[in-house]
Amino acid sequence: MMPAKKKSRGLRVRDLLLLIPYVALLFPGLYARHDPVLWGFPFFYWYQFGWVIGGALLTGVVFLLRRSERTTR
Amino acid sequence: MDTHQVELAVFTLFFLLVTVVGFLASRWRRGDLDLLDEWGLGGRSFGTLITWFLVGGDLYTAYTVIAVPALVFGAGSVGFFALAYTSLVYPLGFLILPRLWAVSRKHGYVTAADFVRGRYGSHWLALAVAFTGILATMPYIALQLVGMNVVLAQMGLKGDWPLLVAFLILALYTYSSGLRAPALIALVKDAMIYIMVGAVVVLIPYKLGGYAHIFAAAGPLLAAKHPPAALVLPKSGYSAYASLALGSALALFMYPHSVTAILAAKSGDAIRRNQVLLPAYSVLLGLIALMGLMALVAGLHPATANMAIPMLIEWALPPWFAGFCFAAIAIGALVPAAIMSIAAANLFTRSFYRAYMRKDATARQESQVAKLASLVVKLGALPFIIFLPQQYAINLQLFGGAWILQTFPAIVFGLWQRRFHHIALLIGWIAGMAASTGMEMSLHMKGSTYALHLFGGTYPAYAGCYALTLNLAITILLTLVLDAARVKRLGDATSEEDYEDRVTTQAGGGVEAVAAEF
C-alpha cells in the first residue's frame, strides 16, 4: 500500500469558507437594525440566529469537501 | 405543600437521580482509574455522540442559562454578543482542534501545556500556560457556583449550606470516577435542559402575548433603564460587541476543560463532526438569552440581574415544573464545574507535580495527585465569589477569558509553525497577563469593556482583546530581535506529520471506522 504522504500545512483554500461567519458577525454595522422584522424578531436578532445555522452549514461543507479529497486521493 | 416545597421536592428527586448516575459511571467502560489517561481523559475513547454531549455539557453552563440572560435583562442587546460568539467558535475549532488532538495522541499529551512543552522545548513557557489555565478556570467555576446559588435562593434556601452540600457531592463523585462521571451525567443534564428550554420558549411567550409583543414591549423598558439600554445595538456599542464576541470565541478552546473534552475524543473526525453539530446548542443559547427580555416584559424586579431567570421560571411555570427546571440549571452548573476541576487538576499534575516536584512519578501517583488537586481547585473558586462584585455573573467568565486568551499565541500558532521564539512568547504572555489584569482592576472588576484612549479617540473593547494585541505585538517584535541576536532556540519534540490525523482513518479502513464512530 502506498502511504499517502502529502506534505501540507493543513490549511487549504476550502478552509477560507470558515472565515465567512467572522465577516458576517464581526461588523455589527451590517446587522444592528430593527427592520425587516421576521416572525416578530427584529433583524438584529434573527440575522444572528440565521448565522448559527449558516456557520454550521459552512463547517459541514468544509467537512464534506475534506472527506471527498481524502477518499479520492 | 407550598410552591417552594414542591419545587424543592422535585429538585431533590432529580438531583439525587443524577448523583446515582455519577457514582455508577465509574463502572462504565471500566478502565484502570488509577491511570491519569483513564481518570482524566476517559481513556481517549469517546466517539462523536459522547463528545457532543461532553463538549456541549462543558460549554453550555450557568453561563448560558443564568449569566447571559441576566446581561440581556440588565443591558439589552449587548448581551447578545454571546450568540455571535458561539457562531464564531466552531469554524475555528474545526481548524485547530483536530491538530491539537492528533499531536497530543501521538505524544501522550494530556493538556495544552504538555503540547507547548513538546513543541517549544521550554518548561517555563509550559508552566506559564499551565498556570494561566488553572487561574482562568477558577472564576469560571465560580460562575457555576453563582448559578447554583441563585437557583437555590429562588427556592427559598438562604445562606451558604445548600451550596456546600452540592459541592461536596460534586467533589466526591468527581474524585471517584473522573471524567466518566460528567460525561454520563451530561446526557441526563442535556435531556433536562432541552425539555426545559423547549417548554419555556413556548409557554412563557404564550403567557406574555407572543414574541412580537415581547420585542415591542422590551424596547421602551430597556430605554427606561439606568443607564439606558437598547433593543438594537447602538453604534457606540459596536466595538465592544464585536471584540467581546471575538475574544470569547478565541478564548473558548484554550480553557483546560475544553481541551480535556476534546482530547477525550477517539478520532479527529469525531471532533470535526462535532464542530458541525454543536451549533444546535447555540440555538438554545440564543433562545435562553431572550428569556432576559421576557423577564423584563413580565415586569419582574429581581434583587440582582442574576436572579432574573429563576424568578421568571417561578413566575411563569407550575411549581413542579419550576423545580424540574431548577434541577436542570443546577446540574447544568455541576457538570462543567466537574470537568473544569478535572482539567485544572490534569494541568497541575503534569506541569507542576511531574515537572518540578516528582520527576519519576508513577502513573498511580500522578492519578492520586490529580484527584487531590481537583478538590483544591474547587476551593480556589470561592474567593472569586466572595471578593468580586456580583452585578453580572458573566464578568467572572470574561475575567477568566481575558487571562486564558494570553495563551493563544503559544498554543494555536504553535500548531502550524514555530516561527515565534519561546522567550518572545513568554514575555508577550507576561505583558498580556499584566495588561489584562491591570485593565480589569482599573474597572474595579465591575466590567470587562475597557475604553482605550488613543489619538484623541475613545475605543471601548474587551480588555482581553487589547491585551492579546499587545501580547502578539511583543511576541513578533521580540522574535525578530532574539533571532537577530541568535539567542538559542530549543528542540521540537514533534514533527509535521504528527499534526495530521489522516493516518488512523486509513489504517482503520473506511466505512466501518466511520460507522463505529457513532
Q: Kindly compute the dihedral angle of the four CA atoms of residues A11, A14, A17, A22, in this order, to the nearest 10 degrees.
A: 10
Domain presence at residue A8: no
Q: How many domains does chain A have?
A: 1
- Whether residues B90 and A59 touch (CB distance < 8 A) is answered with yes
Query: How far from each other are the two terminal CA atoms of chain B, in whole angstroms?
Result: 45
Residue B504 has pLDDT above 60, yes or no: no
The arithmetic mean of pLDDT across residues B325-333, rounded, is: 88
The pLDDT value recorded for residue B1 is 64
Mutate to test the interface with A, among B52, B80, B87, B462 (most CBs of A within 10 A): B87
The arithmetic mean of pLDDT across residues B310-327, rounded, is: 89
Q: Is B122 helix (H, G, I), strand (E, B) or coil?
A: coil
Q: Give per-residue pLDDT as tens, B128-181.
A: 999 999 889 888 888 888 888 888 888 877 777 766 766 776 677 677 666 666
Query: Which of B88, B91, B215 lies closest to A40 in CB terms?
Result: B215
Higher-scoring residue by pLDDT: B400, B386: B400
Domain presence at residue A1: no
B170-179, B182-191, B306-315: which has the minimum mean pLDDT? B170-179
- Whether residues B88 and A21 touch (CB distance < 8 A) is answered with yes
Query: Which of A4, A33, A59 lies closest to B276 in CB terms?
Result: A59
Q: Give per-residue pLDDT as tens, B427-466.
A: 999 999 998 888 877 776 666 777 777 666 777 888 888 8
Q: Is B388 left (phi over 0), alpha (psi -120 to 50) or beta?
A: beta
Cβ burial, residue B134 (10 Å; 0-12/13-18/19+): buried
Q: Does B101 touch chain A (CB under 8 A)?
A: no
Q: Which residue has the cell 437555590?
A: B152
The pLDDT value recorded for residue A73 is 52
The shortest C-alpha distance from A13 to chain B (Å) reads 13
Domain presence at residue A68: yes
The pLDDT value recorded for residue B29 is 56
Is the ipTM, as predicted for this complex, more than 0.85?
no
Higher-scoring residue by pLDDT: B33, B446: B446
Cβ burial, residue B426 (10 Å; 0-12/13-18/19+): buried
Query: Which of B84, B232, B283 lies closest to A42 in CB terms?
Result: B232
Alpha helices in B108-179 (DSSP H): 112-120, 123-154, 161-177
The pLDDT value recorded for residue B483 is 81
- What domains are defined for chain B? 3-26+33-379 (1.20.1730.10)
- Whether residues B91 and A9 touch (CB distance < 8 A) is answered with no
Higher-scoring residue by pLDDT: B505, A58: A58
- Whether residues B84 and A41 touch (CB distance < 8 A) is answered with no
Q: Does B235 touch chain A (CB under 8 A)?
A: yes
The arithmetic mean of pLDDT across residues A3-29, rounded, is: 74
Q: Does A73 touch chain B (CB under 8 A)?
A: no
* Distance separating alpha carbons of residues A65 and A63, to the nearest angstrom: 6
Q: What is the mean pLDDT of chain B?
A: 80
Domain presence at residue A42: yes
Range of the domain at A34: 14-72
Residue B516 has pLDDT above 60, yes or no: no
Query: Which of B232, B272, B280 lies closest to A32 in CB terms?
Result: B232
Among B72, B413, B20, which residue's Cα sits nearest to residue B214?
B72
pLDDT > 90: percent of chain A: 14
Domain presence at residue A39: yes
Residue A35 has pLDDT above 80, yes or no: yes
Residue B312 has pLDDT above 80, yes or no: yes
The pLDDT value recorded for residue B473 is 93
The arithmetic mean of pLDDT across residues B406-424, rounded, is: 89
- Whether residues B92 and A39 touch (CB distance < 8 A) is answered with no
* Distance separating alpha carbons of residues B209 and B212, to the nearest angstrom: 8
The arithmetic mean of pLDDT across residues B482-502, rounded, is: 77
Domain presence at residue A43: yes
Domain presence at residue A36: yes
The pLDDT value recorded for residue B406 is 94
Q: Does B237 touch chain A (CB under 8 A)?
A: yes
Is the Cβ–Cβ distance between B308 and B300 less than 8 Å? yes
The shortest C-alpha distance from A65 to chain B (Å) reads 12
Q: What's the one-letter identity of residue B503?
A: V
Compute CA distances B447 → A73, B440, B468, whole Å.
52, 7, 17
Higher-scoring residue by pLDDT: B396, B43: B396
- Whether residues A18 and B246 touch (CB distance < 8 A) is answered with no
Q: Does A65 touch chain B (CB under 8 A)?
A: no
Q: What's the one-letter identity of residue B344?
A: A
